Every structure is written in C-alpha cells, then in structure tokens.
C-alpha cells in the first residue's frame, strides 16, 4: 500500500515502503535521524554532518549543503533524500527529485521543528521515538519560558561572518531563537543575513550584548577586542552557533545552554 507524506513545503511524496536507504543533506537533520535510531539506514551525508562525529568515517560524503555530487548520491541508490529550504538550493532539490522521493523541511520556529520530528516519526516508522523527543523538547521549552520571563530584554547583535561583517536578521530561525531568550535583535528590521558596515561613524553605545557565533565563521577571542571598539558598552560573548541554528533533536539540549548563557551574562555585567 502506497503511503502519502506531505513535507513542509506542502509537497506530496508517495512511498510504497518505509525508506531504508537515506541520504541527508542537512547536518541538524542527520543528527535527528541518529537520535531516532536510524543511523544504520543513513547511506550518505554532507561534510558538515559532524554529529555524531564518527558518521563522516562510516557514511559516504556527497558534498556540502550548497554543492553536491549528484552522481555519487545516485550511486548510493537512496530511497529518500532529505533537504531543507534554507540549507539547500532549489537546484539541488530539483536534481534530487530526479533520483528518488525528496523531503524538504522549512523551519522558522519550534512548532515547525516539532512538526518535522513527527513527520520523520511517521515517515520512518519511528513514531514512539519521535514522540519522546517532542515531549522532552516541549518540557524543556516550558521550563525555560518560566525562567526567561523574569529576565530583562537585552539589545543584541548576532554575528555570523567577518569580511564582510554579516549578522542574523529577521525571517531566520536564529532571530526566532534570540526572541525566545528575551534578546531584542538590533537588526530585526532587516531580513535574512545582511552585510553591515563597521567604521568610526558606527559606534553603537546602546547595544547590551554582542554574540559571536562559532559557525559558519569560527569567531575567536581575538575578534571580541576588535568589535569592542564599535560596541563600547556591550558584553561580547562567543556562543555555540549550533545551539542557535540547529533544530531537530538538538532542541533537547539548547534550553540548558541558553539558561547558562543568560546567567553568565548576568554575572559578567554585575562585575
């Protein structure tokens, strides 16, 4: 009997059997597959699929998230290919569809993430495992909401790149996560990941916190001093970019991280 599945772009997929050979082109979704107990079904991943770290040694690497080796993917004879609207290009999705069923996620908030986890539960016959992850995320999110509602709103800039300087703005999962943390994104009036100018005429004295992401640009301590000139009154913090931009089962860990981040910021600002 053919199973009909709808992805998060409302595209219909028709599957005769539960997919057993999976190619994942999205690192956070690869991590989710493993946490659902599907590691043995994964046949292909990207070079950025680093969790768990041993996957890159045991699975075929088919490229990155923006550039793939379509012939290598086809040679793996997958039953399904997993993509994401932001991570992968339209051209990649179209090329993958010519090989086999291709599921595309589209994530803007936790509700979207929970829906994706549930979809994977149905798609791969892992409903019980998916429900456990969903319930844990919901509990962690509710606990964090109680914690953070008592905290003041802080004006924040979230950097993702240098040369040129780029920040996370509106219409991104990162911006949504900043809001969960009672962080007011200074660049919320812009969209996606705009380039910004930093020079002697752009001194932002009213910014409370500057967050430097570990990915995609690997910010280090030396960049904190460089940015302090432009944000003289801000606390500048290196943060784990995966916690702000990965979804799926990573959400079971993020709220403990966010709580500790807020407490560390409070301790630093009290000095």
The residue from 102, 131, 160 where one domain ends is 131
In whole angstroms, give the CA distance from residue 18 to residue 185. 42
Q: Give the CATH number for residue 226.
A: 3.40.50.1980
Tell me which of 112, 131, 150 is where a domain ends.
Answer: 131
> Is the same domain home to 163 and 109?
no
Cβ contacts of residue 47 below 8 Å, gap of 6+?
56, 61, 63, 64
Residue 75 shares a structural domain with residue 121: yes
Q: Are residues 149 and 117 in the same domain?
A: no
Which domain, by its residues, includes 189? 141-269
Its pTM stands at 0.92
Tell me: pLDDT of 271 over 70: no
Contact criterion met (CB below 8 Å) for 229 and 165: no
Average pLDDT over residues 140-164: 96
Can you give the pLDDT at residue 202? Answer: 73
Question: pLDDT-derived band of residue 135, with 50, 70 and 90 as boundaries?
Answer: very high
Q: Max Cα separation, the chain?
A: 66
Q: Are residues 208 and 112 in the same domain?
A: no
Taking only the tens place, the pLDDT of each residue in 169-206 is: 999 999 999 999 999 999 999 999 999 988 777 778 89
pLDDT tens for residues 70-102? 999 999 999 999 999 999 999 999 999 999 999
Q: Are residues 121 and 156 in the same domain?
A: no
Looking at 100, 131, 162, the residue that finishes a domain is: 131
pLDDT at residue 267, as a whole number: 82
The model's pLDDT over 200-244, given as tens digits with 9 standing for 90+, comes to 777 788 999 999 999 999 999 999 999 999 999 999 999 999 999
In a domain, 136, yes or no: no
Residue 238 lies in a domain: yes
Mean pLDDT over each residue of the chain, to the nearest integer: 94
């Amino acid at each position: 009997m053919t199973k009909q599945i709808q992805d998060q772009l409302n595209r219909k997929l028709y599957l005769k059997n539960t997919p057993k050979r999976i190619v994942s082109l999205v690192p956070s979704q690869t991590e989710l597959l493993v946490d659902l107990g599907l590691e043995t079904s994964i046949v292909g991943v990207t070079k950025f699929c680093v969790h768990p770290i041993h996957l890159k040694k045991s699975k075929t690497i088919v490229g990155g998230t923006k550039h793939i080796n379509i012939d290598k993917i086809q040679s793996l004879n997958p039953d399904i290919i997993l993509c994401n609207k932001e991570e992968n290009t339209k051209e990649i999705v179209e090329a993958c569809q010519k090989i086999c069923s291709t599921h595309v996620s589209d994530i803007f908030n936790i509700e979207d993430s929970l829906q994706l986890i549930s979809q994977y539960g149905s798609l791969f016959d892992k409903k019980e495992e998916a429900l456990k992850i969903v319930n844990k995320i919901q509990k962690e999110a509710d606990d964090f909401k109680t914690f953070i509602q008592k905290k003041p709103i802080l004006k924040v800039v979230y950097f993702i790149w240098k040369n040129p300087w780029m920040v996370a703005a509106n219409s991104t999962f990162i911006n949504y996560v900043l809001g969960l943390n009672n962080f007011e994104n200074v660049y919320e009036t812009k969209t996606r990941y705009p380039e910004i100018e930093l020079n002697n005429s752009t001194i932002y004295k009213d910014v409370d916190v500057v967050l430097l992401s570990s990915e995609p640009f690997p910010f280090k301590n030396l960049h904190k001093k460089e940015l302090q000139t432009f944000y003289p009154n801000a606390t500048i913090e290196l943060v784990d970019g995966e916690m702000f931009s990965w979804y799926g089962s990573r959400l079971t860990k993020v709220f403990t991280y966010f709580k500790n981040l807020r407490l560390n910021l409070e301790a630093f600002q009290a000095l």
